[in-house]
Amino acid sequence: MVESARLLLGIFVSDLLPVFVIAAVGFSLARYSAIDPRMVSRLTFHALAPALVFHVLVTSQVEGGEFLQMVAYYALVAASAGIMGYVAARTLRLNRGETSAFLLVVVCSNSGNYGLPVALLAFGREALAYASVYFVASSIFSYTGGVLLAASGEKHVLEAMRGVLKVPAVYGAVAAALALAFDVSVPEPVLRPLALLSDAALPLMILVLGMQLERTTWPDRPGVVAVAVAISLVATPLVAFGLARVVGLSGPALQAGVLQASMPTAVITTILALEFGGAINFVTSAVCAATLLSPFTLTWIIAYLQRV
């Protein structure tokens, strides 16, 4: 028992605590320096995120078959989370706007600014490559389907779809896909600044998380938030383990995939809610609750995956 407790504590300190330390800096900045989270989130949204998506794609060392395997795995995980979220929303009798926000927080997991550093710390660079593929697939959805979900609660669907075309990260993904498809070598003078912007994206997004946590208020419907958090941290990881076997993931790919699927609600959901409108109180509360509770689930999941 004592040995197990030490193992879990060691995993938390080495793999999860660094993320929370950076988030605490963001919390402190918002509390004591009066920095506007909206401005920081817009910087991330319009400049850093597209550079991150492009750079991760063009520098990935994962082969084509493994890349498609991980993308398929992500699609199955996201679809499963969406189905569970839709059933829960119908059971809770949420209206259109509430349902959109609910689906947004259960489908969009924090596979970037939380998942990538944890994957590196817990499983090393080989797993990080697979985690990056999962992140790219998740990012493409977040900046397309996530935008649609965030905007459709307040706007007509066609208007929301037009909003997708205004998302810079979509064009970053398209540019990277074209470069890979036509085997275009990105010049070093272009790749280096993109790498610097990409490196800045992860810590800045964690800072945004901390800033948003500082603004969190008690949700209007805490029971709904609790259901969303339970789907993100418990139901989806359980389904993800089974889907990993179905898709045929093993070794570092299995570790990275299941870890990414087990992440709490993505910070980008708060950014999307701020940018496109929506139930910002609910979304921020869900992000806060899921993030603060995630060490209790992720520590056990990492401990299990390290033995796979």
| Lookup: tokens for 263 | 């992440």
* Residue 133 near residue 71 (C-beta atoms within 8 A): yes
Alpha helices in 15-124 (DSSP H): 17-32, 37-43, 49-59, 64-92, 96-107, 115-123
**Three-state secondary structure call for residue 109:** strand
Residue 84 burial (CB count, 10 A): 20
Integer CA distances (angstroms), 149 to 38, 199, 286, in order? 19, 28, 16
Mean pLDDT throughout 127-142? 84
User: What does pTM read for this prediction?
Assistant: 0.82
Confidence of residue 266 (pLDDT cuts 50, 70, 90): confident
What's the pLDDT at 193? 94
What's the pLDDT at 160? 55
> Which 8-state DSSP code applies to residue 117?
H
| Residue 278 clears pLDDT 70, i.e. is over it | no
Q: pLDDT tens digits for 100-131? A: 889 999 999 988 778 888 898 899 888 888 88
**Which residues are registered as beta bridge partners of 109?**
265
| Lookup: tokens for 229 | 């958090």
| Lookup: tokens for 290 | 């899921």
Q: pLDDT tens digits for 200-218? A: 887 887 888 788 778 777 7
Please, what is the average pLDDT of the chain? 85
Mean pLDDT throughout 28-42? 84
How long is the chain?
Answer: 308
Residue 224 identity (one-letter amino acid): V
| Residue 181 clears pLDDT 70, i.e. is over it | yes
What's the pLDDT at 83? 96
DSSP assignment of 240-290 equals: HHHHHHHHT--HHHHHHHHHHHT--B-THHHHHHHHH-S-HHHHHHHHHHH
**For 40-54, 132-146, 155-169, which range has the lowest pLDDT when averaged over its residues?**
155-169
Mean pLDDT throughout 64-79? 90
